[in-house]
Structure 1
């Protein structure tokens, strides 16, 4: 059985649709996603289960959760009903229009117990969002005593060196700061190389022979981790550090059937070797000669199952993660 008895800290993904299609996004959020948002009934179910598993606080993320501020209030109200505290809401500041309208939204958030915004500050987001919006949102937060968790202040000087009235591509940053700038970004950001981030940096990663990766196969224990998990608007429990894999939250809390979640169970019990065997024997997967590590091989198999074989597997949800990469 795939079962988790306790969860400590994590996040709730209210939507995958985003104003940006950032190259570092491990959740593959983008404007291409449907305009779905977590419903009040789903929020109640999720927060109730999280509370029963010992999780007393979460952060809210997306996508961009404040693209539809009118819909986030019902989610926050549900968190209050279930005695779940909100650590912070993640935002890229794209929704900022002017000080007056921003303050109205911020004050409303504070009524629901939200006291901190994590505001993205990095070159990846700056490809889509001019820096003036970040600065203005931070100023508005200060005006209403909303706390700010800047992620990351290490990049403030970099962004401030550019014209803050318009977005700037990563190529512009490379021309301004030197070609090594892009190579250093993952380390400086602390990047999780999954999802679109893996796609972005895969060409720069060292390749390993397929057989060598199999030889080093070990059970993937992160899949049952109790820290920094996420639950999305569809009720999918997403293991820490590994978007694109999922178990229905209500099932994982009671014990999910390994026969139903065969992809995830193969990885959790055997490792990448188990998934390779499953994919070759049952789905005619043909391995390449080399990959940029085990995670690249894993992602290649999962993408093949969803995009080429058109399989609707319960542990590879939502399918949009692969479609909108």
Structure 2
């Protein structure tokens, strides 16, 4: 059985819908996602389970959680009911309109036990969000005694070199700072190359022979990561650093059937070789000659199953991770 016995720290994905479609997003968030948001009842269920597994606090992210502040408050109330602390809420500042309305939102979430905002500060977000909004939100947080967790201040001067009233493409950054800027950005940010981030950087990655990848196959212990897990608005447990896979958290507590989640189980028990064998035997997958590593091969198989074959597989949820990349 696939089972989790304890968890240390992680995050809650309240929604996948976002005001941006950032090139570095490992969760493939974008404006195209359905307008779904975590319900208070789902939040209660999740927080209750997390508490039983020894997890006393989480961060909240998306998508953009503050697209719907009223819905967010319902999640925060559920956290309080279950004695779960909120370390911070992630935001891209796109929702900022003016000081008065921002102060009202910050006052509400402070009243629900939140003392810190993680504000995204990077060129990827700046492709969609003018920097003046980030600056204004940082200033408003200071005026309302809301702590700011800037992610990352290392990029402040880069972004501030541009006109802060309008967004700027990565091409503009490359023109200003050099054509290798996007590659350097990858390392400076410390990207998790999954989802749209993998798609963005795939053309720049060195290819490996397919057979070599299989020879190096090792079990992907996806469930062994008790740090930085996520649980989404549908109640899916998303393994550490590996979006696009999911098993309902409530099933993992009691033991999830590996036959039901055979895509996940093949990787967790055998590695990429196991998934390839399953895909070839059951789903008529035809491998290419080379890939940019095991994750590229894994995504190619998953895209084949979800997008090309249109299969409804319980461990490859939500489908939007593949559809809205």
Which TM class, normalised by the smaller chain length?
over 0.9
Q: Say if 2:222 is the partner of 1:218.
A: no
Instruction: Tell me the distance in 2 between the aligned counterparts of 1:224 and 1:306.
Output: 25
Q: Say if 2:46 is the partner of 1:46.
A: yes
1:6-37 per-residue CA deviation (whole Å, 9 max, x = no partner) reads 00000000000000000000000000001000
The answer to whether the 8 Å contact 1:141/1:147 transfers is: yes
The answer to whether the 8 Å contact 1:118/1:151 transfers is: yes
Partner of 2:283: 283
SS at match of 2:230: strand
Shift of 1:223: 3.4
Partner of 2:89: 89
Shift of 1:224: 2.7
Partner of 2:310: 310
Instruction: Tell me the distance in 1 between the aligned counterparts of 2:6 and 2:254.
Output: 11
Instruction: Tell me the distance in 1 between the aligned counterparts of 2:281 and 2:45.
Output: 38
Shift of 1:222: 3.4
Structure 2 unaligned regions, length at least 5:
none
Shift of 1:180: 1.3
Partner of 2:158: 158
The answer to whether the 8 Å contact 1:15/1:233 transfers is: yes
Partner of 2:247: 247
Instruction: Tell me the distance in 2 between the aligned counterparts of 1:78 and 1:192.
Output: 30
The answer to whether the 8 Å contact 1:106/1:144 transfers is: yes
Matches within 5 A, 1:140-179: 140-179=140-179
Instruction: Tell me the distance in 1 between the aligned counterparts of 2:75 and 2:196.
Output: 27
Range 4-13 or range 220-229, more displaced: 220-229
Instruction: Tell me the distance in 2 between the aligned counterparts of 1:276 and 1:109.
Output: 46
Partner of 2:320: 320
Partner of 1:274: 274
Q: How many residues align?
A: 325
Instruction: Tell me the distance in 2 between the aligned counterparts of 1:95 and 1:80.
Output: 25
The answer to whether the 8 Å contact 2:6/2:226 transfers is: yes
Shift of 1:221: 1.6
Instruction: Tell me the distance in 1 between the aligned counterparts of 2:103 and 2:267.
Output: 46
SS at match of 2:66: coil
| RMSD (CA atoms) | 0.5
Q: So what's the TM-score if we normalise by structure 2?
A: 0.99
Instruction: Tell me the distance in 2 between the aligned counterparts of 1:224 and 1:230.
Output: 13
Partner of 1:19: 19
SS at match of 1:86: strand
1:20-55 per-residue CA deviation (whole Å, 9 max, x = no partner) reads 000000000000001000001100000000000000
SS at match of 1:296: helix
1:94-134 per-residue CA deviation (whole Å, 9 max, x = no partner) reads 00000000000000000000000000000000000000000
Instruction: Tell me the distance in 2 between the aligned counterparts of 1:53 and 1:313.
Output: 27
The answer to whether the 8 Å contact 1:223/1:242 transfers is: no
Structure 1 unaligned regions, length at least 5:
none
Instruction: Tell me the distance in 2 between the aligned counterparts of 1:263 and 1:226.
Output: 21
Shift of 1:225: 1.1
The answer to whether the 8 Å contact 1:59/1:88 transfers is: yes
Q: So what's the TM-score if we normalise by structure 1?
A: 0.99
Instruction: Tell me the distance in 1 between the aligned counterparts of 2:224 and 2:12.
Output: 17
Instruction: Tell me the distance in 2 between the aligned counterparts of 1:47 and 1:236.
Output: 13
1:34-79 per-residue CA deviation (whole Å, 9 max, x = no partner) reads 1000001100000000000000000000000000111100000000
The answer to whether the 8 Å contact 2:2/2:256 transfers is: yes
Partner of 1:5: 5
